[in-house]
Amino acid sequence: MAGAGAARGSPELAGAAGAPGRAEQQPQPPRAAAMSSVASYESLVHAVSGAVGSMTAMTVFFPLDTARLRLQVDEKRKSKTTPAVLLEIIKEEGLLAPYRGWFPVISSLCCSNFVYFYTFNSLKALWVKGQHSTTGKDLVLGVVAGVVNVLVTTPLWVVNTRLKLQGAKFRNEDIVPTNYRGIIDAFHQIIRDEGVLALWNGTFPSLLLVFNPAIQFMFYEGFKRKLLRKQLQLTSLDAFVIGAIAKAVATTLTYPLQTVQSILRFGRHRLNPENRTLGSLRNVLYLLQQRVRRFGLVGLYKGLEAKLLQTVLTAALMFLVYEKLTAATFTVMGLKHSRRH
């Protein structure tokens, strides 16, 4: 709790509470205190819980993500709804096709959420220092954590996007097929054929998209603070509902850039008439213009239904698992969970 956190972080209070004659505790140097906040056990618990929560949620709702990705990348697909696309995929590619690419996606998601949750909570511990956070601070922390996450994990997402779409039956003849034998081989072929920088395809829209998790966490933490003023802890339903609302808002605001991000990560379209493959950041505006020219403004939101269905449910379940796992871990380890909310 805030009071307990303040007491633990204040040597003066600790010394005043001790027995007379006891030597006063010396305050840690600023650099040591900063390192202690960043490398704390509590931040590690948050990071592991976030990673486990995201893997659990994505596994449950993975077919919805498959449908969303096909709608974003394969522009000439006639089926427009999530159920229709999933039925089409199963009919043409087999019953397990909606789970194609599950392992690389889960691996990337685990790393990505570990980095994000660890960075977010470490910086929060460093900045907030046992006090109540604010909406503005949550947004700033979310953006910084997002930038770190993007720069560290984009290569994993480029590889898993390609593996997930490998073997898919596309309607768009401009898409160049791939033939990777696994994650390591995909890394090798991309570096050999397209250069190391191709692993960071989509980094520019990804950096803009750091506002997606930042907005999500800002709303989530804001709703959470309001609820915790009235009750001691979040219920399962509370965590699920506010996680869903926060993600729905963030996804709707940033969806056009998510579409461009998916296309750039896939990187197997040809640019006509030059017949070059996409893979550079300068194509972001080109892709947005082409999307609007072909489908109108509505084209920027093609696949939004599938994305909302998948991402809202996934985020809601992730936050539910994250909150319960974090609370259980602190309880089992006999530690008091500092509520810096």
Q: Is residue 184 scored above 70 in pLDDT?
A: yes
Beta bridge partners of 277: 270
Check residue 206 and give its pLDDT.
Answer: 78
Task: Give the SS3 label for residue 219.
Answer: helix
For residue 175, the 8-state DSSP code is P
d(CA 129, CA 164): 42
Sign (positive/negative) of CA torsion 139, 144, 148, 154?
positive
Q: What local confidence, expressed as pLDDT, does residue 316 receive? A: 94
Q: Which residue has the higher pLDDT, 331 or 23?
A: 331
Higher per-residue pLDDT: 99 or 340: 99
* Band of residue 23 on the pLDDT scale cut at 50, 70, 90: very low
Query: How high does pLDDT run on average in the chain?
Result: 78
Checking if the pLDDT of 117 tops 90, the result is: yes
More confident residue, 163 or 51: 51
- Give yes or no for residue 238 having a pLDDT over 80: yes
Distance between CA atoms of residues 84 and 78, nearest Å: 10
CA distance 273 to 67: 29
Apex CA 64: angle with CA 62 and CA 210, to 5°?
80
Report the pLDDT value the prediction gives residue 42, as an integer from 0 to 100. 86
Q: Higher model confidence: residue 279 or residue 26?
A: 26
Provide the whole-model pTM.
0.68
Q: Distance between CA 243 and CA 166 in Å, rounded?
A: 32
pLDDT at 306: 73
Q: What is the pLDDT of residue 22?
A: 38
Averaged over 281-305, what is the pLDDT? Answer: 76
pLDDT of the residue at 243 = 94
Rounded CA-CA distance 17/22 in Å is: 10
- Facing residues of 270 across strands? 277
